[in-house]
Amino acid sequence: MASISGLDLYRLTDDRTATASSSGSDFSISKQGIKLPYSRKKLVSRRGIPAQKASQSKLMPRQDESVSGIDLWILPNDRMEQFLQAQSCLSRVELSRSNQINHEFHARRYKAVRVLLRMALSVKTKYETGYNDWHFSTNAFGKPELNPQNAGVSFSITHTEDFSALAVATGAKTGIDAEKVNPARGKHLPKQLLTEYETQRLQTHTKYRQFYDFLCIWTLKEAYSKALGLGFSLEFSNIEFELDPVKLRRAVPERNSSGKAEFEILNIHWKNQDYLLSICTICQETEHSDRTIDTINIID
């Protein structure tokens, strides 16, 4: 196991596993109307913890934890501080990048999410790589990715007004995107992102359903672009989706030929606000691993 020096005073621990329908919860997550279970996690300092308890900390995953699916992590904006105290694991490049961000909140969020990213990657790989030992770069299109020495794991990050979300997958490329469901924005949506087929399909629905379906298509295209590693270089009007069921009707052949793209759309309710979150995974056609969401973790 690689060293976890620099972060060995911190651990992610389960508070509880909750159902999204728990009474009094300000968070819920569902898929096709079905509530999904999730775990609440805390970043806890080992300082002051008796030695016998520290040795039993949940740095190692449970035996039933899988590495084949997708791990989804959600970091609310008001839970960032606990990760900023662990920023010693960040590289000079990451710290330099944060210093270049003019807005203080965005700079702090960047650092907190990067700390969570390192932890989530180590959790996913059963701590074969320590928090400090992940190395990053950007591809030709500006997408952050892991260096070749950390091959086999992929990640994607998205931000909303209330939280950041992170997807981590092994043996597949992944992309994630989330948008707030705010019907007031309906008149100002960039509908040029749609194909003629998608536009015609939307026009058969009510105004609210048109808005909702547009957000589905938009987040699916964003997630697909991130999984491909193309970022903003992908022309969204050149790819096409069917929503019922979710299916990619027109892909990017030269980029998608080496794997099969799969998609999931989740509905998140957070502090009286609704969000749509789409996840794309692209894996080899010959692989039979389960690429559905394996764990959902919200930082408490």
In a domain, 59, yes or no: no
Whichever domain contains 120, its CATH number is 3.90.470.20
Low-confidence ranges of the chain (pLDDT < 50): 1-8, 20-24, 47-66
In a domain, 279, yes or no: yes
pLDDT at 298: 92
In a domain, 281, yes or no: yes
In a domain, 222, yes or no: yes
pLDDT at 290: 55
Q: Which structural domain, as residue segments, surrounds residue 155?
A: 10-47+66-299
Total number of domains constituting the chain: 1
pLDDT at 126: 87
pLDDT for 42-67, tens place per residue? 876 654 333 333 223 333 333 344 45
pLDDT for 9-32, tens place per residue? 576 777 655 554 443 457 899 998
In a domain, 178, yes or no: yes
In a domain, 3, yes or no: no
In a domain, 26, yes or no: yes
In a domain, 272, yes or no: yes
What 3 state SS string does the chain have? CCCCCCCCCEEEEEEEEEECCCCCCCEEEEECCEECEEEEEEEEECCCCCHHHHCCCCCCCCCCCCCCCEEEEEEEHHHCHHHHCCHHHCCHHHHHHHHCCCCHHHHHHHHHHHHHHHHHHHHHCCCCCCHHHCCEEECCCCCEEECHHHCCEEEEEEECCCEEEEEEEECCEEEEEEEECCHHHHHHCCHHHCCHHHHHHHCCCCHHHHHHHHHHHHHHHHHHHHHHCCHHHCCHHHCEEEECCEEEEECCHHHHCCCEEEEEEEEEEECCEEEEEEEEEEECCCCCCCCCEEEEEEEC
